Amino acid sequence: MKLTMPRYDQAAVLVVGDVMLDRYWHGGTSRISPEAPVPVVRVDQIEDRPGGAANVALNIAALGARALLVGVTGEDEAAKSLSDSLRGAGVESHFQRLGDQPTIVKLRVMSRHQQLLRMDFEEPFNTDTVALAREVDALLDGVKVLVLSDYGKGALQNHQALIQAARKKGIAVLADPKGKDFSIYRGASLITPNLHEFELIVGGCADEAELVSKGATLMHELELGALLVTRGEHGMTLLRPEHAPLHLPARAREVFDVTGAGDTVISTLAASIAAGEELPLAVALANLAAGIVVGKLGTAAISAPELRRAVQREEGSERGVLSLDQLLIAIEDARAHGEKIVFTNGCFDILHAGHVTYLEQARAQGDRLIVAINDDASVSRLKGPGRPINAVDRRMAVLAGLGAVDWVVSFGEDTPERLLAQVQPDVLVKGGDYGIEQVVGADIVQAYGGEVRVLGLVENSSTTAIVEKIRSK
């Protein structure tokens, strides 16, 4: 199965469910309380993050899709913090605010990246289900997927009304289920229980064969379009009627914190399906995203650059020969990870020791090295008849095989000035014995605040000299 990055900017998802605020108190601890055998935490940082259904919507927005959210909060400081965070992330929030009940808050006390204590502030909501259903129905037009993010806190009380409203409009319904009664999700396009939640409904599963058998029975009984069971370190299993089961291994290299992993799975699934991906590909992307999020601390959103880099790594396309459009996306991802971009250019007709040393020096100026090379027509104009010796595709392939080179791109003009204006590298590097003001494109790079550096060349290494020596024999 070949993974590709969906066009999330063309997707729209409506999330309905239990919103909450995940609050973190961070601080150091160096002593035990004299009052009780517990550590004393000196709080020096307070952090608020959207949780529950709000985290699902936040993840969808972080991938670049349009995210709409319907939920229930109080009329309090926590609700304001939630609204502000979501608005800043581009989530369109529609909250039913109850003046006599608090917004759900989960407070975690953290020290040295370890959770010492969690305190929950919540009361079951007395939701106006008619008003909520009316709000949802008004927002369904224009979305591709409806997500029911159910934490059993009371925002969702009439699941069937929401499922049927979406199905009448041809909208897929994804549900992250809770509780001991899955019949409330009857008719959903997909539900995503974890293994514990699944076994509470169908009973224990001794092996994968039993999981598949019981899953098929559950799908039939509840008229489900599909069932995805998330299984922790054992990965995920996707079941669909009249299809072979799809088992995907876990992708996490190191599990740091599983908080919000289920939210990441359903948000990536929803955004991918809304972007037009087939379900198996959407599940594979969700599996990759889950592997990223469990390596982070606390409730965290997965960004499009993070997921795209994981896809590139999976497909072995993180480095190499790129088109200009691919290069610009790769640069965007690199900058999202705080990486410095270095650019150099040349003909690189016959690669020799001087080139290799120079490219290694260039790569040392930053985190990612772009090598732009003249195409065949421009090499002929610059070097004369009989050049290049090697065609552009061969020159690019050889350069892409060097450990110092990240990306190779070609250009058709005599100089790379147009390319520099589009790429805008942090550092422009050129080899030679001339001043910075003589470097082609230096004015372009310096105009936007970039650096220009001139590196020395290895003596007695010249492509032209090599070609002349070969021709003289």
pLDDT at 117: 93
Sheet holding 341-346, edge to edge: 320-321, 407-411, 368-374, 341-346, 427-431, 451-455
Q: Which whole number is the average pLDDT over 403-422?
A: 93
Contacts 24+ apart (CB under 8 A), 243-251: 245/208, 245/212, 245/215, 246/280, 246/283, 247/208, 248/283, 248/284, 248/287, 250/287, 250/290, 250/291, 251/287, 251/288, 251/290, 251/291, 251/292, 251/310
How large is the average pLDDT for residues 365-385?
92
Do residue 301 and residue 360 come from a single domain?
no
Same domain for 273 and 351, yes or no, is no
Cis peptide bond upstream of 388, omega within 30: yes
HSE, CB side, 13 Å, CA atoms: give it for residue 9.
0
pLDDT at 467: 54
Clarify whether residues 237 and 262 are in a common domain: yes
- Whether residue 55 is found in the same domain as residue 155: yes
- Judged against a pLDDT cut of 70, whether residue 298 lies above it is answered with no
Q: What is the pLDDT of residues 170-224, one digit of tens each?
A: 999 999 998 889 999 999 999 999 999 999 999 999 999 999 999 999 999 999 9
Handedness of CA 265, 266, 271, 276 (dihedral sign): positive
In the block, tokens 């004299």 appear at 34
Model confidence band, residue 403 (pLDDT cutoffs 50, 70, 90) = confident
| Predicted TM-score (pTM) of this structure | 0.72
Check the annotation: does 194 bind a ligand.
yes
For residues 310 and 384, state if they share a domain: no
Q: How confident is the model at residue 255 (pLDDT cuts 50, 70, 90)?
A: very low
Residue-wise pLDDT for 122-171, tens only, equals 988 888 888 888 999 999 998 999 999 998 888 898 899 999 999 999 99
Q: Residue 332, annotated ligand binder? A: no
Domain check: are 340 and 305 in the same one? Answer: no
204 part of a folded domain = yes
SS3 at position 395: helix
Query: Of the ranges 170-179, 375-384, 392-401, 459-468, which one carries the lowest mean pLDDT score?
Result: 459-468
- Residue 238: what pLDDT? 95
Of residues 142 and 317, the one with the higher pLDDT is 142
Is pLDDT at 242 greater than 60 in this prediction? yes
**195 annotated ligand binder:** yes
CB atoms within 10 A of CB 245: 16
Q: How many Å apart are CA 31 and CA 97, to the nearest integer?
A: 42
Pair 294, 332 in one domain: no
CATH code of residue 438:
3.40.50.620
Q: Is 42 inside a domain boundary?
A: yes
Give the residue ranges of DSSP H helices in 316-457: 324-336, 353-363, 376-383, 392-400, 417-423, 442-447
* Residue at token pair 């606390």: 298
Domain C-terminal end among 267, 282, 315:
315
Residue 421 lies inside a defined structural domain of this protein: yes
Q: Is residue 419 assigned to a domain?
A: yes
Asked if residue 336 and residue 310 are part of one domain, the reply reads: no
Instruction: Indicate the residue among 289, 315, 341 that finishes a domain.
Output: 315
Given the residues 22, 263, 375, 406, the one annotated as active site: 263
Query: What is the mean predicted confidence (pLDDT) over 71-82?
Result: 94
Give tens-digit pLDDT for 338-367: 899 999 999 998 888 888 889 999 999 999
Q: Domain total for the chain? A: 2
Asked whether the beta carbons of 13 and 274 are under 8 A apart, the reply is yes
Which among 298, 315, 332 is the end of a domain? 315
**Residue 229 above 80 pLDDT?**
yes
Q: Are 134 and 165 in contact (CB under 8 A)?
A: no
Q: Are residues 326 and 310 in the same domain?
A: no
Q: Is position 1 within any domain?
A: no
Confidence of residue 86 (pLDDT cuts 50, 70, 90): very high
Residue 256 has a pLDDT of: 43
Alpha carbons 208 and 100: distance in angstroms, whole number:
47
Mean predicted lDDT score pLDDT of the chain = 88
Give the type of residue at 231.
R
Q: Are residues 220 and 324 in the same domain?
A: no
For residue 436, the enclosing domain spans: 320-472
Q: What pLDDT does residue 290 have?
A: 84
278 band by pLDDT with thresholds 50, 70 and 90: very high
Q: Which CATH number covers residue 271? A: 3.40.1190.20
The residues with which 369 forms a beta bridge, in sequence order, are: 342
CB hemisphere CA count around 232 (13 angstroms): 9
User: Is residue 374 a known part of a binding site?
Assistant: no
Please give the average per-residue pLDDT across 425-444, as a whole number: 88
Q: How confident is the model at residue 304 (pLDDT cuts 50, 70, 90)?
A: confident
Instruction: Confirm whether 76 is a catalytic residue.
Output: no
- Examine the domain organization and report whether 127 and 206 are in the same domain: yes
Examine the domain organization and report whether 294 and 335 are in the same domain. no
